[in-house]
Amino acid sequence: MFIKPVSSLKGELRIPGDKSISHRSVMFGAIAEGITEVTHFLQGADCLSTISCFRKLGIEIENTPQKITIYGKGLHGLSAPDGILDAGNSGTTTRLISGILAGQPFTSTLTGDASIQKRPMKRIIAPLREMGADITSLSGNDCAPLKISSAPLHGIHYQSPVASAQVKSCLLLAGLYADAPVSVTEPALSRNHTELMLASFGANVTSEQTTATIQPTPRLYGQRIDVPGDISSAAYFLAAGLLLPGSELLIRNVGINPTRDGIIRVAKAMQGNVTELNARIVSGEPVCDLLVRSSELHGTEIGGSLIPALIDEIPAIAVMAAYANGTTVIKDAAELKVKESNRIDTIVTNLRAMGADITATEDGMVINGGRPLHHAVIDSHMDHRIAMAFSIAALRAEGGADIRDAKAVSISYPAFYQDLSSLEA
């Protein structure tokens, strides 16, 4: 898709629902008793993969434009799937559902697309086995397809080597079926949507600093959930509003959970004009409207415990850094290599093709910003976040850019290009 340069963006938009929260609403609703109703559910391909997996596990789910209704069958109500469960492109589906499947009295096989079949699953296989789970990688290389069979689960205290909400959530969900508490300590706090939402469904979950603990839980109860807008999707418009001269955008209803809001902190550190308005709580999650005005950005340093709070926004942040004055250093972000694409490679190669001064490092990148960028053919590697971040880079580049496999945006933001054109001043 060709993206032409634009002079500025103006107006208001409501971005789609949060991907992480949408996945969890279906999963927890399926294993709760009674009905769970979800509004502003993200109708992206990843979340639809979660719905299709739970339908295969015997759960009735109605999906209408107004709301999703999940007819939960309780912790022990899932039935053996007829056929292989397909998680598509979704790491969240694959890793979280594995925790639930480990506690079931039947065997399931779970796989996904070419990208999923390359992503590391040892990070869940090893601790699930420590709990007693019967889980094997059918490919023999610790990737999907995964075969998960019935086995009694025990409590553990797991010291996770990575700050990963997918690993933490997988183990907490398996903990629902264990005979003793399960606790997970991470090197830095990852997004805590599972802890917040599972507690609202009636689980006994507690958090202390970087440790989350779940007690054996007899039952969960269906809930009503209004999904906040996804800050990871807002990130592209935040970047565009800051980068394009004369822009002013009001991005409504953005989730600003402190485990997710790193991009706002970084935008402010880069001297971006970002204001949080109308702060409020929606379904237990902090939300606001973000007012963004074009700004002269400056380089910054990003690392340490801030990384998990902005890991999915690094493609957008790298684009901001390429247009900023001075140097931006991103470190402690080796996890970028195991996302939907190797995002250190895909960011560095594509920004360099547009004329940026950028160098890959072992755990991040160094960007000497301020060079004018120009047209290039961008290979998204079917990674939705690369497609969207480089569409934003194109808006200010001489000659725009051509984005290969721009359709990947359907993973998390099907209406991305419509929303973008609605804001062109």
Least distance between ligand S3P and beta carbon 228 (Å): 14
For ligand S3P, which residue of 92, 108, 192, 283 counts as binding (CB under 6 A)?
A: 92
Active site residue 402: no
Least distance between ligand S3P and beta carbon 160 (Å): 10
Non-local CB neighbours of 65 within 8 Å, separated by 6+ positions: none
The span from the CA of 51 to the CA of 74, in Å, is 16
Using CB under 6 A as the binding rule, whether residue 223 contacts ligand S3P is answered as: no
Catalytic residue among 312, 379, 383, 419: 312
Q: Which is nearer to ligand S3P, 56 or 119 (CB)?
A: 119
CB 31, CB 77: distance < 8 Å: yes
Least distance between ligand S3P and beta carbon 49 (Å): 13
CA-nearest of 91, 98, 87 to 127 is 98
The span from the CA of 417 to the CA of 206, in Å, is 40
Cis omega before residue 145 (within 30°)?
yes
Using CB under 6 A as the binding rule, whether residue 341 contacts ligand S3P is answered as: no
Amino acid at 158: Y
Least distance between ligand S3P and beta carbon 92 (Å): 4
Judged on CB neighbours under 10 Å (0-12, 13-18, 19+), 418 is exposed
Size of the site for ligand S3P (CB under 6 A): 12
Using CB under 6 A as the binding rule, whether residue 93 contacts ligand S3P is answered as: no
Q: Which is nearer to ligand S3P, 98 or 164 (CB)?
A: 164
Q: Which is nearer to ligand S3P, 110 or 243 (CB)?
A: 110
CA dist 19 → 15, 222, 357, 424 (Å): 11, 20, 32, 26
For ligand S3P, which residue of 195, 226, 312, 313 counts as binding (CB under 6 A)?
A: 312
The span from the CA of 13 to the CA of 422, in Å, is 9
For ligand S3P, which residue of 8, 15, 16, 20 counts as binding (CB under 6 A)?
A: 20
Using CB under 6 A as the binding rule, whether residue 166 contacts ligand S3P is answered as: yes
Catalytic residues: 312
- The residues that touch ligand S3P, with contacts defined as CB under 6 A, are 20, 91-92, 164-166, 169, 190-191, 311-312, 335
